[in-house]
Structure 1
Amino acid sequence: MSTTNAKRTDNGGSQDLDVIIVGAGFAGLYLLDRLRSMGMAVQVFEAGGGLGGVWYWNCYPGARVDSSGPIYQYSRDDLWRKWQFSELYPSWQELREYFRYVDEKLGLSRDIRFNRRVNEAEFDPARNRWIVRSNDGSVASARYFVLCTGFGSKPYVPDLPGLSDFAGERHHTALWPQQGLDMAGKRVGVVGTGASGVQVAQEAAGVAAHLTVFQRTPNLALPMRQTKLDDDTIRRMKEKYPEIYDRRTKTFAGFDYDFLAKSAFEVSDDERQAIFERLWEMGGFAPWLGTFNDIFVNEEANRAAYKFWRDKTRARINDPAVAEMLAPTEPIHPFGVKRPSLEQHFYEVFNRDNVSLVDLRTAPIERVTRSGIRTTAGEHDLDILVLATGFDAVTGGLTSIDIRGTQGETLREKWAKGVRAHLGMAVAGFPNLLFVYGPQSPNAFCNGPTCAEVQGDWVARLLDHLRQRNHTRIEATVAAEEAWRAQVLELADATLFPRADSWYLGANIPGKPREMLAFTGGLPAYLAKCRESAERGYEGFAIS
């Protein structure tokens, strides 16, 4: 693997690079390896103290990935053959071990600057380079600025009155203490029931003196079907890895399974029920992304899926009033249009004497007090307050950096009027800026490592194309980004996704434009659009 040494300038020790990548998760590490192998001078700037992106920050109790291990890793033969997870759905600890293994194999850390949070970046049109400033005082310049910040890198802390008054331990799940936090014998409150809220609640219930879960919207969580993996199981699984990795670019969400080639009502009632049962037993995202092909466009089909989920879930909850809060008779929103979490025993938690559920729809939070949380229905005394309140997703990691283009406005200012990002990777007025897993790409509807590799490959080929022709500048055209935006929104409007106030639409963040932030046409259709642009000389981009 060849590398080109970065060139030192004489203006205060700043560096001239070919490419600066922000973020050392799956996408950033993949691109670092690809671009280095092409002989480019590349560095990754990472805000955290270690590899893994979200898996550096996600270290709260119970944190684990919601995709199965075989598909949640790089597809390189020289990596997967000698690696094995011990569980089907790996924990954050094992994912950190995986990234250390990848680093040992590929020697990535030598070109990563840890604990370096990028604060601002400005394009210099005279030199066609980005000037990048970070929190450690460093200044670097690069021809290309590639953001791999992921869709969950800006934690959202709601503006709860009195939050700073709380006298106990208070942590957002994405900013959990790296040394851990002992919840044993404590009164624990969890605000939020997304993925991290579900996982923390499962862990806290068994050790806390009392657990109080504050729920606004019920999570339509699916059974994880976690299992330990022995050597024989892993050997048999690996026999299918080449087929799995080949298949994943051909499925809607980059997994090794896809929607069925039939709609919910072209089969009999008995067959439909049997299919729901089979997918339920498979677990994971199969009931969500391996089900009937009209589940997100046909309200009747979606309602059938919700009814099946509701009845399965309510059967696990002893108290009918609690069951109605967790799995309402009438759906608050269509099934699957907010990202479902995977759970192991979440619903059984509420059968315990030391667990309470607070419905914030009927008893909203009035304020956080020194000793806990006060709702309109009463006080809840707490020692530990867990904010499982999610992220300014998809765009937040990008707009939290002061990125200034050629028109005098920042990326945040441009996107305040609605996202425009051609192919979900580039923006007019911001030359030589690219991003992976960004808005208007498949992001939330694509397995992370799959997206990292296929988008990373496209970016690498693009940069090689420019280098071979001695081009030094590329940016999306206004017409192209407007057309792409229209297509993304039109695809979403044909589905049931806009029927929920989800982070898919930015609806969890006050003041954020409510619009679909992901390409909902599926990975194969997205890749076809990317190939089409490349084959036409990168149509939709101005190159010079």
Structure 2
Amino acid sequence: MVGIQQPPPDYDMIIVGAGFAGVTLLYHLRKQGHRCRVLEAGSDLGGTWFWNRYPGARVDTEAPFYGLSIPEIWESWQWSEKFPSQPELRRYFAHLDKMLGLKQDIDFHTRVTHGQFREDRWHITIADGRHLTSRFLIACPGPGTVPHIPSFPGLESFQGTVTHSYEWPEEGIELAGKRAAVIGTGASGVQIVQDWAKRAQHLTVFQRTPNTALPMQAEGWMPDTTLTHAAFCNYRNTHFSGVNYQFTPINTFDVADPAARKAFRESLWQRGGFPYVYANYQDVMINPAANREMYDFWASKTRARIIDPRKRDLLAPLEPLHPMGAKRPTVELDYYDQFNRPNVDLVDLRSTRIHSFEPKGLTTTDGRFFPLDVVALATGFDMITGGLTHMGLQSVDGDSLYDQWRGDGGVKTYLGMSIHGYPNMFFLAGPQGPLSFSSGPIGIEVQCQLICDAIQSLHVGGHTIFEPTAPAQEAWSQRVKAMFDETLFLQSPDSWFLGGNIPGKKRELLTYAAGLPQYQKDCHKAFGTWEGFVRK
């Protein structure tokens, strides 16, 4: 009958996000028989790897440990690079869809603007005004999906091209004959510089904190054809980050011979990537002297590649600005070599600051003017929490998650997957979980399995609603923070591990630091008896 309002579509599960977490959940929950719908703001699968399309974008975890263990995918896909590029990650997601039929249950161009649990359902509002309901909400927005753009005075007056690394135009940016700038030297900045330095007429890199980037050592890489599916799956149960290396179980100075320590570090250096830090001696993130020796080796290797003394001291200073590893390192192909090019300059934002943008460039507080045509803002993200707090979620009492976590109490979760006041909700790759110290897809598979098992347990027990208690949430939050008490991470207050890169964001530890095996033990213990939860 005309004029009768139809009820909103109802599902067992609404999953927000179609990156690694969203598609993995969709695959497993459909197998359990649940009616699922994935809501994705972009126009295709990939999450981070859909949006981060800037030149040079690639993963910093070695293949195949940046992939899924789903058997039909494992058996039918072969990586072509040691550190896969963004185009290869896009092809990987297309392969996932081809093999698993994912898109039939995904709504693209669909951004969630509000969500609240009322009575026995989640009520979800979409940006276009549509409404949906579901028994469960599983939020997978990704840890780095809310770009941070500093409030540079006059930015809107700049007449050239300016874009954040996360909002890169699909058609790319023309650089021939252009004067370009990259602001920021985190992971995205390093990768953009490696590309732009070779193509721009002139490139100015604005650096606040030097990046302790590690060499990829990707030349001549060949896939390991001896790695079995069973071994791959076992790493996530036995190794700290779920990959094929972890801290060496000996303290630095238990090896009395400096030459032996140097030879050990050289072997890690030649291996390439994160093992230089995360397969180093077990005390490098606890003992300042051990950390300093690790840094000094890195600095000697890196400084040898930089010709200009001023740039050398800025890019790889003899005195570290923070403990190595306290800010997440990245990996590089030829980043430091680009500063030997005559068309590449480096500005130290610790001795000066960006004063304002002008129509034809920008000025710094020391009075210099930099004429520019193109600017890349590699200025980071509201990491770990931003994707969740910008979804418009409200507790059962009507409080916004954004206000709750930005308040004096800070971030509170239970198991890094659930929140008091938000029944029947899980989230992945967010605060107080293990993802910052693990391979993304592997850590995601761990959390996905825990969530699927928990939902199945609720069903078998005849329960329809669950919610963590406030005391359990408080205890978990304190435990996560206590993991860092004896470490060097607290000596880098501007790290995104602590929310320190966002003005006004509370400085607090946002990630679980005991590794994937211990995390699984903690969660199995809690879900085994539903300790710390109320079920109805």
Sort the TM-score into its range (normalised by shorter chain). Answer: over 0.9
Q: What's the CA shift for 1:308?
A: 0.6
| Aligned partner of 2:103 among 100, 109, 118 | 109
| Aligned partner of 1:487 among 479, 488, 503 | 479
* Matching of residue 261 in structure 1 with residue 255 in structure 2: no
* Matching of residue 217 in structure 1 with residue 206 in structure 2: no
* Matching of residue 85 in structure 1 with residue 75 in structure 2: no
Amino acid at match of 2:447: Q
Q: What's the CA shift for 1:251?
A: 1.3
* Matching of residue 519 in structure 1 with residue 516 in structure 2: no
Partner of 2:376: 386
Partner of 1:16: 10
* Matching of residue 414 in structure 1 with residue 400 in structure 2: no
Question: Structure 1 residues 238 and 79, CA, compared in 2 at 3 Å: closer, same or farther?
Answer: farther
Amino acid at match of 1:534: F
Describe the superposition over 1:303-326 as per-residue Cα deviations: whole angstroms up to 9, x where unpaired. 110111111110100011111101
Helix, strand or coil for the counterpart of 1:83? Answer: coil
* Matching of residue 433 in structure 1 with residue 425 in structure 2: yes
Helix, strand or coil for the counterpart of 2:484? Answer: helix
> Could you state the TM-score of these two structures normalised by the residue count of structure 1?
0.95
Q: What's the CA shift for 1:226?
A: 2.0
| Aligned partner of 2:237 among 249, 265, 271 | 249
Amino acid at match of 1:196: S
Describe the superposition over 1:472-505 as per-residue Cα deviations: whole angstroms up to 9, x where unpaired. 1111110101000111111112211111110010
Q: Is the 8 A contact 1:248 1:256 kept in 2?
A: no
* Matching of residue 297 in structure 1 with residue 297 in structure 2: no
Partner of 1:276: 265
Amino acid at match of 2:196: A
CA distance in 1, matches of 2:194, 2:82: 18
* Matching of residue 529 in structure 1 with residue 522 in structure 2: yes
CA distance in 2, matches of 1:494, 1:476: 29
Q: CA RMSD in A?
A: 1.2
Q: What's the CA shift for 1:263?
A: 1.0
CA distance in 2, matches of 1:159, 1:39: 48
* Matching of residue 195 in structure 1 with residue 187 in structure 2: yes
Q: What's the CA shift for 1:51?
A: 0.4
Identity %: 45
Q: Is the 8 A contact 1:71 1:245 kept in 2?
A: no
Partner of 1:405: 395
Amino acid at match of 1:430: Y
Describe the superposition over 1:48-71 as per-residue Cα deviations: whole angstroms up to 9, x where unpaired. 111011000010000000011211
Alignment of 1:101-500 (within 5 A): 101-124=95-118, 126=119, 128-227=120-219, 233-234=222-223, 236-267=224-255, 268-377=257-366, 378-417=368-407, 418-500=410-492
Question: Structure 1 residues 220 and 143, CA, compared in 2 at 3 Å: closer, same or farther?
Answer: same
Q: Is the 8 A contact 2:236 2:517 kept in 1?
A: no
Helix, strand or coil for the counterpart of 2:375? Answer: strand
Amino acid at match of 1:348: D
Amino acid at match of 1:163: L
Point out the more displaced range, 492-501 or 17-26. 492-501
Q: What's the CA shift for 1:92?
A: 0.5
CA distance in 2, matches of 1:223, 1:243: 26
* Matching of residue 51 in structure 1 with residue 45 in structure 2: yes
Describe the superposition over 1:375-412 as per-residue Cα deviations: whole angstroms up to 9, x where unpaired. 12301111111000110000000000111111221111
Helix, strand or coil for the counterpart of 2:27? Answer: helix
Amino acid at match of 1:308: F
CA distance in 2, matches of 1:523, 1:422: 16
* Matching of residue 42 in structure 1 with residue 36 in structure 2: yes
Q: Is the 8 A contact 1:88 1:228 kept in 2?
A: no
Q: Is the 8 A contact 1:87 1:228 kept in 2?
A: no
> Could you state the TM-score of these two structures normalised by the residue count of structure 2?
0.97
Partner of 1:3: none
Point out the more displaced range, 253-262 or 388-397. 253-262
Q: Is the 8 A contact 2:435 2:444 kept in 1?
A: no
Aligned length: 528
Unaligned runs of at least 5 residues, structure 1: 1-9
Q: Is the 8 A contact 1:129 1:141 kept in 2?
A: yes
CA distance in 1, matches of 2:67, 2:353: 41
CA distance in 1, matches of 2:66, 2:380: 21
Helix, strand or coil for the counterpart of 1:258? Answer: coil
Q: What's the CA shift for 1:29?
A: 0.5
Q: What's the CA shift for 1:452?
A: 1.2
Question: Structure 1 residues 292 and 365, CA, compared in 2 at 3 Å: closer, same or farther?
Answer: same
| Aligned partner of 2:67 among 73, 86, 91 | 73
Q: Is the 8 A contact 1:245 1:256 kept in 2?
A: no
CA distance in 2, matches of 1:207, 1:13: 55
Unaligned runs of at least 5 residues, structure 2: none
Q: What's the CA shift for 1:87?
A: 1.1
Amino acid at match of 2:388: L
Q: What's the CA shift for 1:443?
A: 1.8
Q: What's the CA shift for 1:521?
A: 1.3
Helix, strand or coil for the counterpart of 1:28? Answer: helix
Amino acid at match of 2:373: D
Describe the superposition over 1:353-386 as per-residue Cα deviations: whole angstroms up to 9, x where unpaired. 0000000100111011111121123011111110
Partner of 2:500: 507
Amino acid at match of 1:369: E
